[in-house]
Amino acid sequence: MTAAAPRLYVDSADVDRVTSLLTAGVVHGVTTNPTILERGGRTAAEIPDLYARWSAEGAREIFFQTWGGDTASFLRNAETIRALGDRVAVKVPATRDGFAAASALVADGATVLVTAVYSVAQALVCSSIGVQYIAPYLGRMRDAGIDGDVVIARMQEVCAGSGTDVLAASLRSPDDITGLRLAGVPYFTAAPDVIEQMLFHEVSDGSAVEFDAAMVRLGA
């Protein structure tokens, strides 16, 4: 079976930094949650404008999280999110009511990500429901004393071939991303700082300066 091609997403509501990465074409889309929106100084009323802006700037998928705490509320608020457009994906928390909402949304044709997945068993439930993505939080797992690298790799293994894939989150360095990719994880979302660190190596920058200097000497 051919492995899924890797994708990078930017996890932020800082519109200027998101715009920079989208217009550079280095990320597939944008992920948010209520905490990220709050940290970015955004309100719920601004969600339609964020969706419109990021779509225009080239985001192929844009994730917003439903809310309410119970299945009926999750589904009601998910309809508001889905109405934004065909590039939207609905995030649902990995709770008992969240799983029920996710199952109903998948059955209705929505693109669904179950977020804050912390166990392989939860990942297996997501796979059985048929959600497209699960989001385990690597950094938070480590903070809690969990070997997140091993657990997330096992999540991808139990989901393999089902149409459900890991979209790893809480990634604090480029090494977090490359390590999980080597373990078979296909999709990653990270803060702008981490994505920008992936684009830089001092030797690469030094080589670019040398190339430009050589072209000047060649009369370009």
pLDDT score of 201: 60
Would you say residue 22 has pLDDT above 70? Answer: yes
Q: pLDDT band at residue 1, thresholds of 50, 70 and 90? A: very low
Q: Note the pLDDT of residue 203.
A: 60
pLDDT mean over 209-213: 74
pLDDT digits (tens, 9 = 90+) for 169-180: 999 999 999 999
Asked if 106 contacts 100 with a C-beta cutoff of 8 angstroms, the reply is no
Tell me the C-alpha to C-alpha distance, in Å, between residue 113 and each of 78, 185, 216: 12, 15, 50
- Percentage of the chain beyond pLDDT 90 is 89
pLDDT band at 210 (very low <50, low <70, confident <90, very high): confident
The average pLDDT across 17-41 equals: 96
- Mean of pLDDT values over 122-137: 98
Q: Which residue has the higher pLDDT, 219 or 130?
A: 130
Q: Average pLDDT in the 203-211 region?
A: 70
Mean pLDDT across 209-220? 77
- Determine the 3-state secondary structure of 204 from DSSP: helix
CA distance 31 to 28: 10
**Burial bucket for residue 140 (CB in 10 Å: 0-12, 13-18, 19+):** middle
Residues 6+ apart with CB under 8 A from 18: 10, 12, 30, 54, 57, 192
Q: What is the mean pLDDT of residues 7-33?
A: 97
Enter the pTM of the model. Answer: 0.92
CA distance 213 to 217: 6
pLDDT at 199: 93
Q: Which two tokens stand for residue 97?
A: 């009511």
Mean pLDDT on 142-149: 96
Do 171 and 187 meet the contact criterion of CB atoms below 8 Å apart?
Answer: no
Q: How far apart are CA 119 and CA 60, in angstroms?
A: 28
State yes or no: pLDDT of 151 exceeds 90.
yes
Instruction: Identify the pLDDT of residue 4.
Output: 81
- The average pLDDT across 178-187 equals 97
When pLDDT is cut at 50, 70 and 90, the band that residue 3 belongs to is low
Q: For residue 208, give the H/E element and its range.
A: helix 202-217
pLDDT at 135: 98
Residue 140 has pLDDT above 70, yes or no: yes
pLDDT of residue 212 exceeding 70, the answer is: yes
- How far is it, in rounded angstroms, from Cα 213 to Cα 56? 37
